[in-house]
C-alpha cells in the first residue's frame, strides 16, 4: 500500500471535519486533489474508505481501521519532529491540544506566551471544547493532550492536576444574594443572567440548568469574562464565572459567592493517553502550563 503522509493527514482531517472539502482546507489541498487522493487510496486498498452523503462523509469499517493507524503514524511523526528539532535548523514543530473555556481564558494565555517565546519554531493548534468532548478526542488520538475539569470521567487517561476551577456567583455588592456564604445554582435560575455567548462554560451551565428542568434567563451574552463582570457591576444581571476570573475582575462594587453544588468545585487537569509518549514540544508545553497553574494558585493565596 503506497499511502504517503499527505494521504494519512488528509484522511484524518476529512474524518475529523466530516467533509472532504473541509478536510482539504485543513491540509491546504484543493478539493479536486483531495478527492483524487482519497479515490486513489480506495483503489489501492480495493475497498471503500468513506460513505458519502448529502451531509458529509463517515468512515466505513475499513476507513475506521485506517483512521486509527493514521492517527498513530501522524502522532509518531510529530514526536520524531520534536525530538529531532534540537539537531536541525528550520524544522517546524506542531502541537495540537484542546481546552475547556476556563483554562483557555484564565490559565493558557500566559503559559502559551511564555512557551512560544522560548520555542519560536513551534506552532500550537488549540480548539475549545467541553471537558467531556476533550476526553473522548484525546483518547481517540485527535489531540496530543487536553485541559479539562476533573468533574468528567477521565477513563484510562493519564492526568496532572494544575489549578482550581471553582465556579462562583458574581453579583453587585448590594444584591440580596451577595450576603450569603454560598448559594445553590437552582436558587439563581429565577434571576436575569449575564454570561458568555458560546463556549464550553456556556454549554456546561446550560446542561446543569437542563438537569434541573430549567433554562438560564440570559439578558446579555458576551465574549469575555471582563465584560460579563462590568455588566454585572452595572446591575444588568448576575454571572457565574471561574473563581480566578471573578477574583481578577472584582471591584469594590462586586461580590463573589461560592456555588454550593458539587459540580461547581472542580480542578483543571491536563489529560493525555501517555505523557511519556508526547512529543518533546508537547511535554515542554505541559510543563509550562503546570508552572502557570502554580503561579496562579500562589496569587490567589491570602497575603
Same domain, 141 and 271: yes
Same domain, 275 and 127: yes
CATH of residue 274: 3.40.190.10
Is 194 part of any domain? yes
Same domain, 270 and 132: yes
- Residue 285 and residue 278: Cα distance in Å, rounded? 10
Is 87 part of any domain? no
Same domain, 96 and 65: no
Same domain, 257 and 282: no
Same domain, 256 and 174: yes
- Residue 268 and residue 162: Cα distance in Å, rounded? 6
Nearest-5° angle of CA 5, CA 63, CA 40? 55
- Residue 126 and residue 38: Cα distance in Å, rounded? 27
Same domain, 186 and 116: no
Same domain, 258 and 122: no
- Residue 164 and residue 92: Cα distance in Å, rounded? 33
Same domain, 284 and 158: yes
Is 254 part of any domain? yes
- Residue 78 and residue 66: Cα distance in Å, rounded? 18
DSSP-based three-state secondary structure for 194: strand
Last residue of a domain, one of 18, 48, 82: 82
Last residue of a domain, one of 25, 60, 82: 82
CATH of residue 17: 1.10.10.10
Same domain, 67 and 214: no
Write out the chain's pLDDT in tens, 303 residues.
678 889 999 999 999 899 999 999 999 999 999 999 999 999 999 999 999 888 889 999 999 999 989 988 888 887 787 777 656 655 577 899 999 988 988 889 999 999 999 988 888 999 988 888 999 999 988 899 999 988 888 999 999 999 888 899 999 999 999 999 999 999 999 999 999 988 878 888 999 999 999 999 999 999 889 999 999 999 999 999 998 889 888 888 999 999 999 999 888 999 999 999 898 889 999 999 999 999 887 776 654
Is 280 part of any domain? yes
Is 155 part of any domain? yes
The boundaries of the domain holding residue 24 are 5-82
Indicate the pTM of the whole model.
0.66
Domain tally for the chain?
3
Cα–Cα distances in angstroms (integers) from residue 8 to residues 23, 42, 70, 145, 281, in the given order: 11, 12, 5, 20, 22
Is 109 part of any domain? yes
Same domain, 159 and 239: no
Is 67 part of any domain? yes
Last residue of a domain, one of 31, 53, 82: 82
Is 244 part of any domain? yes
Same domain, 15 and 70: yes
Amino acid at each position: 500500500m503506497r499511502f504517503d503522509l499527505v494521504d494519512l493527514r488528509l484522511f484524518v482531517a476529512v474524518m475529523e471535519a466530516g467533509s472532504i472539502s473541509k478536510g482539504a482546507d485543513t491540509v491546504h489541498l484543493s478539493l479536486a486533489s483531495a478527492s483524487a487522493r482519497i479515490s486513489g487510496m480506495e483503489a489501492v486498498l480495493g475497498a471503500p474508505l468513506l460513505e458519502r452523503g448529502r451531509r458529509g462523509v463517515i468512515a466505513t469499517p475499513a476507513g475506521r481501521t485506517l483512521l486509527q493507524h493514521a492517527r498513530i503514524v501522524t502522532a509518531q511523526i510529530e514526536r520524531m519532529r520534536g525530538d529531532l528539532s534540537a539537531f536541525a535548523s528550520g524544522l517546524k514543530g506542531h502541537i495540537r491540544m484542546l481546552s475547556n473555556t476556563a483554562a483557555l481564558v484564565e490559565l493558557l494565555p500566559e503559559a502559551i506566551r511564555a512557551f512560544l517565546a522560548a520555542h519560536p519554531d513551534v506552532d500550537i493548534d488549540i480548539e475549545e471544547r467541553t471537558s467531556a468532548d476533550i476526553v473522548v478526542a484525546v483518547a481517540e488520538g485527535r489531540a496530543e493532550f487536553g485541559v479539562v475539569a476533573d468533574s468528567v470521567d477521565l477513563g484510562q487517561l493519564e492526568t496532572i492536576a494544575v489549578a482550581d476551577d471553582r465556579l462562583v456567583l458574581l453579583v453587585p455588592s448590594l444584591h440580596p444574594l451577595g450576603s450569603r456564604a454560598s448559594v445553590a445554582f437552582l436558587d439563581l435560575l429565577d434571576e436575569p443572567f449575564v454570561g458568555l455567548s458560546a463556549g464550553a462554560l456556556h454549554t456546561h451551565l446550560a446542561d446543569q440548568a437542563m438537569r434541573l428542568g430549567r433554562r438560564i434567563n440570559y439578558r446579555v451574552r458576551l465574549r469575555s469574562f471582563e465584560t460579563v463582570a462590568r455588566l454585572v457591576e452595572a446591575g444588568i444581571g448576575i454571572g457565574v464565572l471561574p473563581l480566578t476570573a471573578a477574583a481578577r475582575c472584582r471591584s469594590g462594587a462586586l461580590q463573589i459567592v461560592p456555588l454550593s453544588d458539587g459540580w461547581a468545585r472542580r480542578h483543571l487537569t491536563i489529560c493525555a493517553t501517555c505523557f511519556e509518549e508526547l512529543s518533546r514540544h508537547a511535554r515542554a508545553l505541559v510543563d509550562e502550563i503546570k508552572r502557570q497553574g502554580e503561579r496562579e494558585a500562589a496569587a490567589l493565596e491570602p497575603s
